[in-house]
Amino acid sequence: MRIALDKVAGEQVAKYLCRIMQSVFVLAVGLAITACSDTDRATDLSEEITNKKVRQYLLEHPELVLDDPEIARAISSARSARQHQARALWRKSILAKNASLLDSALTPASGDVGSQVTIIEFYDYQCMPCKASYPELKQIKKTEKDVRIIYAQLPVFGSYSTLAARGAIGAHRQGLFQDYHDALMTANVRLDAGSIFTMAADIGLDIEKLQADMRDPQVIHYLEQMRILADELDVTGTPAFVVGDSILRGGTGVKELKLELNRQRTQSHLPSGV
């Protein structure tokens, strides 16, 4: 009798455990799917996973989660996806707060303001990975439609980098940013005052006006603001490419940029709040 009872009880326990395991599985899948930003489904599933019994069981047997590498992985990836999403939102809010700086008349940019995705490149004219990434970004500019590129000066390699950055803003005021940018980015010489002004003269910049613009407190303040924006975005080296709400750090190629652009485009088709 006892054996029979135990058997029945055992079957019930087994069924119960089976249901719990299903729920745990659902939990892992749910978290993973949440990470993929499918809010509606995640909400449905989260209703399932708040099932009191599952919760209670997990509280009593946390090792079930800890010891199962698949579940642990799922939870970890869900967590990192959430963190990623939180960082993206935080980045978006910083960019929104600094919209006037990014759209300022002093900010050189290509593409339309209303483009689907914006790339902000923080760079220095003496940074080798920046120079290496230059043709890659040019390629993107040529082939990718509906992309706006903002050239954000972040001079970090000393006085001549600062001088070149000011020069670039001065050139932008004279409508010759792209030419000057190209000259500086492809220059095979060490930057100094001589080379900075020679390149400027070679592309036809009015040197007197350029020098006056380079001293303009507005330009100096603008560069300081750009530096503060880089700080806020946690840019810790050059180059850094803010692509939509994501960031790519260091020298970056066409492939990575395209991948991120596509991700951003897909994302921008999703309902807001995702």
Partner 1 sequence: MLRKYRFIIPFIIGLKALSVTAAESLVIPDPKNYPSLSTKKMGHVRHMINLANQLDGDFSLMGETDPVYHMSFHAYQFQIAFAQYALASAHYHYTPAHRDLYQKASTRLIQRMIYKDVWDYWAHVSKFDLTDRTGSEGGQERMIYYTEDDWYGWIDPNIKKNIMYSGHLLQMVGLHQNLFNDNRYDEPGSLTFRYAPIEYGQGPVEMKYDYHRLAKVIYDQFVEDRYRGIECERNAVYAECNQHPILGLMSYDLKNGTDLSVKVRKEFKKVMRKRKYINPETNTTMYFLKVKEDEVVPATYAWADGWNGHAQHVWDKEYIKSIYPDQKKRYFPSMLRGWPFENMGWGVSFDFGFFALLASEVGDTETVQAMVDYADEHFEPTWKDGGYYYPHTRFYVYNFLRDWLGYIHNVGPLTGNVLVGFASINPKDGLWKIYNQPRGKSHFDEPFITDVEYLEANVTQAVYAADKDALIVTLAPASVESEATSFTVRQLDPEKTYVLVRDGQVLGEVNRKSNLALPNAKWQTDGSLVISTGLTEPQSFILQARAATLAAR
The contact set with partner 1 (CB under 8 A) reads 76, 79-80, 83, 86, 154, 156, 158-160, 162-163, 193, 215, 217, 230-231, 234-238
Nearest approach, Cβ of residue 126 and partner 1 (Å): 11
Shortest Å, Cβ 192 to partner 1: 9
Q: Return the number of the residue (98 or 148) whose C-beta is nearest partner 1.
A: 98
Q: Which is nearer to partner 1, 62 or 158 (CB)?
A: 158
Between 20 and 184, whose beta carbon lies closer to partner 1?
A: 184
The nearest distance, CB 139 to partner 1, in angstroms, is 27
Min. distance of Cβ 74 from partner 1 in angstroms? 12
d(CA 96, CA 109): 17
Q: 25 or 197: whose CB is closer to partner 1?
A: 197
Q: Which is nearer to partner 1, 150 or 233 (CB)?
A: 233
Q: Would you call 161 exposed, middle or buried from its count of C-beta atoms within 10 A (0-12, 13-18, 19+)?
A: buried
Instruction: Give min distance, CB of 5 to partner 1, in A.
Output: 43
Rounded to a whole number of angstroms, the minimum distance from the CB of residue 237 to partner 1 is 6
DSSP state of 56: H
Check whether the bond before 69 is cis (ω within 30° of 0): no
Nearest one of 148, 146, 164 to 156, comparing CA atoms: 164
Sheet holding 117-123: strands in order across? 109-110, 147-153, 117-123, 240-243, 246-249
The residue type at 16: Y
Contacts 24+ apart (CB under 8 A), 245-252: 245/88, 245/89, 245/91, 245/92, 245/95, 246/88, 246/91, 247/91, 250/129, 251/129, 251/130, 251/132, 251/133, 252/133, 252/136
Judged by beta carbon, residue 202 or residue 234, the one nearer partner 1 is 234
Asked if residue 230 lies in contact with residue 124, where contact means CB atoms within 8 angstroms, the answer is no
Number of helices (H) and strands (E), helices first, in the chain? Answer: 13, 5
User: Least distance in Å: CB of 69 to partner 1?
Assistant: 13
Query: Which CB atom, from 97 or from 215, has the smaller least distance to partner 1?
Result: 215
